């Protein structure tokens, strides 16, 4: 592609596949875009309008319609110039104006932000896709050109854009079937994120070619010879895989470059579908097939319309060779992906029976996303949908069930019906009883065993892979735990309201729930109990004037109300009372008052010493996170678990003051953790967060009657 593309160059590119193009409208759009961007420059110093023209040129290689080409020329006008939506409507029509506006909105999404915001932005991205998929096609071409010219950006901006490309845009291009674009985006991002690794791979590859000669040509000639012997007409193409693709295989397999064998890919394009299987037979007759590396996407197409046969064989000198076999029409879809729906040939929309309907594709992609009830679930769905390859399994009746690679019988059960998943007690794969965590493979027959009264287990969350299964399991567990969470939430609400001198009445909770858009007070309490909502936020929503007045933290010296003037106090080490709990004091001559929780067993020692008891209560303001509480916790002895537990505590704005190992076993640790907390609500929040972790086997507040202040 020339560095600077002129208007005539662009028209010529469009005419190669669409002689009936509306040349006048494209010329008008070109002139309008150039005028709007006059005086604007890119980081490289080039006139800014060279970028929209390059984006349009990229889209011509996908043979896209005039509306998409013109949108590319105008895609930054509404955002970055004095152009307006109404002006674009007037000059180019509402279809193009809607597309330009859609790209503008996508440009404004900060997809690589915090997890909560990222989930919301993904929702918006998929909403834009569902309206008109061409918006995403323009955005992907825009990102591709920006990545091709990324070296002119500041280093930190390069890294941010490259990471966003690797995490979001490259897998999205792959999911849409545009594998060539995915590979180029990945490789360009790889050059930024790990240039040293890429250069090392390239050097090794050059050395390998020098030692072995042109392996691609040799194997291509071998395949052509077999096809000629079988009298099969087909084109054969070969290439070395992209550096990032090789790097990913090395990372996945834990192998060095010298041990990695399948670094070459070959493609056979046939005249008809029957010849695809004849080619497969000829290749397997000549070379040994590698077990587990055969996929037939012709009989079981991917949801984006992709059809091809994939096989890996031990080729020349024992080198593994991946071969893809498909017809010309299938190849067109494989190159353009979902964009094949808009492809033109000879001035008319190309009639390709394999091109997927974009509306149906987006509907299938977003079908499960709408049911996600929280941000984590939504991102889980999105990333699964974009990254996953598929396996095809069969029910005992022979019906096909599509699942992502790595799925389990549990995912299979939920794919059939939520009711089947909830009641699952076991599975048979190809007639053999297997654990629920078994990974299913292509072509296997899966039978799910159910039992009445069976309910999902918490451990299933880690076994399931699909978003649908995880969502259903979480929903069931939430329902089961609802009563427990409501009870805990009521206690948290009581403490939080008492902090500002109010009562958590049913009326107050109902109003608070309404303010937060929840159905009723029980829903609010359940969210409080499950730590999805903070009790302090509820109080501040109802009584902003009170919460503001108590905004300053209570000084530690004034935390207790009921002491005599000049009398000092300290918290009892045996029960470690915290604000929000009922307390009582025991006076000591020369030591002041020791504050105990009302239920502390040590108090029984003072039953006959009434003169030493002091009636106390906590100050109603906001306390600092400086009240130490000891937690006894049992966790799995696995890599990263202790670090995650410490992170969970930190995420609740609590500080770990000390940590003591009580037991170190091969399968678990038992630990005492001292945590600095604000109050009893803060304690409940921390404990709830820890209890929710699957690697926490036991958790309790630790109190030692023998501890002395």
Most distant pair of Cα atoms in the chain: their distance: 108
Tokens 């390859």 found at? 389
349 band by pLDDT with thresholds 50, 70 and 90? low
CA dihedral for 343, 346, 348, 350, sign (positive or negative)? negative
354 band by pLDDT with thresholds 50, 70 and 90? low
Which parts of 592-701 are beta strand (E)?
Answer: 592-597, 613-615, 617-618, 627-636, 655-664, 668-677, 696-701
411 band by pLDDT with thresholds 50, 70 and 90? very high
Instruction: Output 193 or 631, whichever has higher pLDDT.
Output: 631
Q: Over the stretch 586-628, which tens digit does the pLDDT of each residue have?
A: 998 877 899 999 989 898 888 888 888 988 988 877 888 889 9
pLDDT at 550: 45
**Backbone Cα Rg of the chain:** 32
Instruction: Output 458 or 129, whichever has higher pLDDT.
Output: 458
Question: What are the Cα distances from residue 566, in Å, to 338, 467, 570, 577, 614?
Answer: 78, 61, 14, 22, 15
Percent of the chain residues topping a pLDDT of 90: 23
Instruction: Give, rounded to a whole angstrom, the gap between the first and last alpha carbons of the chain.
Output: 78
Q: Rounded distance, CA 269 to CA 271, Å?
A: 7
Q: Over the stretch 632-666, which tens digit does the pLDDT of each residue have?
A: 999 988 878 888 888 888 878 888 888 888 888 87
Instruction: Output 125 or 238, whichever has higher pLDDT.
Output: 238
Q: Rounded distance, CA 530 to CA 475, Å?
A: 13
Backbone angles phi, psi at 662, to 5 degrees: -90, -40
For each of the domains in the chain, give its residue range(s) and CATH number, in order of start. Answer: 7-193 (1.10.3210.10), 209-349 (3.30.460.10), 475-549 (no CATH), 556-618 (no CATH), 627-701 (3.30.70.260)
φ/ψ bin of 233: left (φ > 0), alpha (ψ from -120 to 50), beta (otherwise): beta
Q: Rounded distance, CA 705 to CA 643, Å?
A: 30
pLDDT at 695: 82
Which parts of 201-335 are beta strand (E)?
Answer: 234-240, 264-270, 288-289, 295-296, 309-314, 320-327
1 band by pLDDT with thresholds 50, 70 and 90? very low
Question: What are the Cα distances from residue 627, in Å, to 207, 366, 579, 620, 657?
Answer: 64, 47, 8, 15, 10
Q: How many CB atoms lie within 10 A of CB 414?
A: 29
DSSP-derived 3-state class of residue 524: helix
Highest mean pLDDT out of 20-34, 149-163, 602-616: 20-34
29 band by pLDDT with thresholds 50, 70 and 90? very high
Q: Rounded distance, CA 358 to CA 381, Å?
A: 19
Q: Cβ contacts of residue 472 below 8 Å, gap of 6+? A: 414, 418, 421, 422, 456
Q: Over the stretch 634-643, which tens digit does the pLDDT of each residue have?
A: 998 887 888 8
Q: Rounded distance, CA 302 to CA 653, Å?
A: 45
561 band by pLDDT with thresholds 50, 70 and 90? confident
Beta pairing partners, 427: 434, 448
Tokens 């010296």 found at? 557
Inter-residue contact 173 to 185 (CB < 8 Å): yes
Percent of the chain residues topping a pLDDT of 70: 84
pLDDT at 401: 82
Q: Rounded distance, CA 550 to CA 552, Å?
A: 6
DSSP-derived 3-state class of residue 592: strand
Q: Is the model's pLDDT at 326 over the cut of 50?
A: yes
Core vs surface per residue 322-333: b (16+ CB within 10 A) or e? bbbbbbebbbbb
Q: Rounded distance, CA 156 to CA 455, Å?
A: 49
382 band by pLDDT with thresholds 50, 70 and 90? low
Element (H, E) at 571: strand 569-571
DSSP-derived 3-state class of residue 180: helix
pLDDT at 36: 92
DSSP-derived 3-state class of residue 574: coil
Core vs surface per residue 147-180: b (16+ CB within 10 A) or e? bebbeebeeeebeebbebbbbbbbbbbbbbbbeb
61 band by pLDDT with thresholds 50, 70 and 90? confident
Inter-residue contact 350 to 332 (CB < 8 Å): yes
Of 112-126, 534-548, 568-582, 674-688, the least confident: 112-126
Burial class (CB in 10 A: 0-12, 13-18, 19+), 336: buried
Kindly state the tokens that stand for 57: 């040129």
pLDDT at 403: 83
At residue 293's C-alpha, the angle toward residues 289 and 299, to 5°, is: 100
Report the candidate in 485, 480, 458, 482 with the shortest Cα–Cα distance to residue 684. 485
Compute the average pLDDT of residues 74-93.
89
124 band by pLDDT with thresholds 50, 70 and 90? low
Question: What are the Cα distances from residue 476, in Å, to 87, 403, 409, 585, 635?
Answer: 52, 22, 18, 45, 25
Q: Over the stretch 172-217, which tens digit does the pLDDT of each residue have?
A: 787 777 888 888 999 999 889 888 888 887 887 777 777 666 778 8
pLDDT at 380: 53
Instruction: Output 484 or 616, whichever has higher pLDDT.
Output: 616
316 band by pLDDT with thresholds 50, 70 and 90? low
Report the candidate in 262, 358, 352, 240 with the shortest Cα–Cα distance to residue 310. 262
Strands 390-394 vs 432-434: parallel, antiparallel or unpaired: unpaired
pLDDT at 3: 57
Q: Is the model's pLDDT at 383 over the cut of 70?
A: no
pLDDT at 123: 60
Highest mean pLDDT out of 120-124, 131-135, 255-259: 131-135
Q: Cβ contacts of residue 200 below 8 Å, gap of 6+? A: none
Q: Rounded distance, CA 592 to CA 585, Å?
A: 10
Question: What are the Cα distances from residue 461, in Å, to 408, 664, 701?
Answer: 12, 27, 26
DSSP-derived 3-state class of residue 664: strand
Q: Is the model's pLDDT at 110 over the cut of 70?
A: no
Which parts of 274-371 are beta strand (E)?
Answer: 288-289, 295-296, 309-314, 320-327, 344-345, 348-349
Residues composing the chain: 709
C-alpha torsion 357→363→366→371, nearest 10: -170
Inter-residue contact 325 to 236 (CB < 8 Å): no
Assign 3-class secondary structure to 182-218. HHHHHHHHHHHHCHHHHHHHHHHHHHHHHHHCCHHHH
Q: Rounded distance, CA 563 to CA 614, Å?
A: 8
Average pLDDT, the chain: 82
Report the candidate in 304, 351, 301, 354 with the shortest Cα–Cα distance to residue 129. 304
pLDDT at 548: 44
pLDDT at 536: 77
Q: Over the stretch 504-516, which tens digit does the pLDDT of each residue have?
A: 888 888 888 888 8
- What interhelical angle do 680-691 and 467-499 show, nearest 10? 170
Instruction: Output 590 or 559, whichever has higher pLDDT.
Output: 559
pLDDT at 20: 86
Report the candidate in 202, 150, 141 with the shortest Cα–Cα distance to residue 173. 141
DSSP conformational letter for 439: P
348 band by pLDDT with thresholds 50, 70 and 90? low
DSSP conformational letter for 342: G
For the annotated catalytic residues, the residue numbers are 79-80
Question: What are the Cα distances from residue 322, in Å, to 124, 294, 636, 666?
Answer: 38, 10, 41, 43
49 band by pLDDT with thresholds 50, 70 and 90? very high
């Amino acid at each position: 592609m020339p560095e600077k593309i002129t208007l005539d160059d662009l028209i010529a590119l469009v005419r190669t596949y669409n002689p009936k193009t509306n040349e006048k409208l494209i010329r008008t759009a070109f002139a309008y875009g150039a005028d709007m961007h006059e005086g604007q420059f890119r980081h490289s110093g080039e006139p800014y309008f060279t970028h929209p023209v390059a984006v349009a040129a990229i889209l011509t290689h996908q043979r896209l319609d005039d509306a998409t080409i013109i949108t590319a020329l105008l895609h930054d006008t509404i955002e970055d110039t004095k152009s307006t939506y109404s002006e674009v409507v007037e000059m180019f029509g509402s279809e193009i104006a809607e597309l330009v506006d859609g790209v503008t909105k996508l440009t404004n999404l900060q997809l690589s932000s915090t997890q909560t915001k990222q989930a919301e932005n993904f929702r918006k991205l998929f909403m834009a896709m569902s309206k008109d998929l061409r918006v995403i096609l323009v955005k992907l071409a825009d990102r591709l050109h920006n990545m091709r010219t990324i070296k002119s950006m500041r280093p930190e901006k390069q890294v941010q854009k490259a990471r966003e490309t690797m995490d979001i845009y490259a897998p999205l291009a792959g999911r849409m079937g545009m594998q060539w674009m995915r590979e180029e985006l990945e490789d360009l991002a790889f050059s930024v994120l790990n240039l040293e690794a890429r250069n090392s791979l390239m050097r090794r590859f050059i050395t390998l070619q020098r030692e072995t000669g042109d392996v691609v040509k040799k194997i291509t000639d071998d395949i052509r010879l077999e096809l000629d012997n079988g009298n099969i007409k087909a084109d054969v193409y070969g290439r070395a895989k992209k550096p990032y693709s090789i790097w990913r295989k090395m990372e996945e397999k834990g192998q060095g470059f010298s041990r990695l064998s399948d670094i070459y890919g070959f493609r056979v394009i046939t005249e008809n579908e029957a010849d695809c299987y004849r080619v497969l037979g000829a290749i397997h007759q000549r070379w040994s097939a590698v077990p587990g590396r055969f996929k037939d996407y012709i009989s079981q197409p991917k949801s984006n319309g992709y059809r091809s046969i994939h096989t890996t064989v031990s080729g020349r000198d024992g080198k593994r060779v991946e071969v893809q076999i498909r017809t010309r029409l299938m190849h067109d879809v494989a190159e353009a992906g979902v964009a094949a729906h808009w492809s033109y040939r000879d001035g008319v929309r190309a009639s390709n029976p394999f091109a997927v309907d974009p509306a149906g594709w987006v509907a299938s992609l977003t079908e499960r996303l709408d049911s996600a009830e929280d941000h984590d679930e939504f991102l889980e769905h999105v990333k699964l949908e974009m990254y996953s390859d598929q396996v095809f399994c069969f029910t005992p009746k022979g019906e096909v069930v599509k699942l992502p690679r790595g799925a389990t019988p549990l995912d299979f059960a939920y794919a059939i019906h939520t009711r089947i998943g909830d009641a699952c007690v076991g599975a048979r794969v190809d007639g053999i009883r297997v654990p629920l965590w078994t990974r299913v493979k292509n072509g296997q027959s899966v039978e799910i065993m159910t039992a009445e009264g069976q309910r999902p287990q918490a451990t299933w969350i880690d076994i399931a892979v699909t978003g649908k299964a995880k969502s259903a399991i979480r929903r069931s567990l939430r329902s089961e735990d609802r009563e427990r969470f409501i009870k805990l939430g009521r206690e948290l609400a009581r403490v939080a309201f008492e902090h500002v001198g109010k009562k958590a009445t049913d009326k107050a909770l109902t109003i608070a729930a309404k303010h937060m858009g929840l159905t009723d007070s029980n829903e609010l309490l359940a969210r409080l109990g499950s730590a999805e909502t903070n009790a302090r936020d509820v109080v501040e929503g109802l009584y902003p004037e009170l919460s503001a007045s108590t905004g300053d933290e209570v000084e530690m010296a004034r935390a207790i109300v009921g002491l005599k003037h000049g009398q000092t106090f300290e918290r009892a080490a045996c029960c470690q009372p915290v604000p929000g709990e009922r307390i009582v004091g025991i006076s000591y001559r020369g030591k002041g008052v020791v504050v105990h929780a009302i239920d502390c067993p040590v108090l029984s020692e003072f039953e006959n010493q009434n003169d030493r008891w002091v009636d106390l209560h906590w100050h109603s303001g906001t306390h600092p996170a400086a009240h130490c509480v000891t937690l006894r916790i049992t966790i799995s002895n696995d890599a990263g678990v202790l670090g995650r537990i410490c992170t969970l505590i930190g995420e609740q704005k609590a500080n770990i003051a000390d940590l003591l190992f009580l037991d170190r076993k091969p399968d678990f640790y038992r630990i005492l953790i001292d945590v600095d907390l604000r109050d009893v609500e803060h304690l409940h929040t921390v404990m709830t967060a820890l209890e929710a972790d699957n690697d926490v086997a036991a958790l309790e507040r630790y109190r030692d009657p023998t501890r002395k202040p």
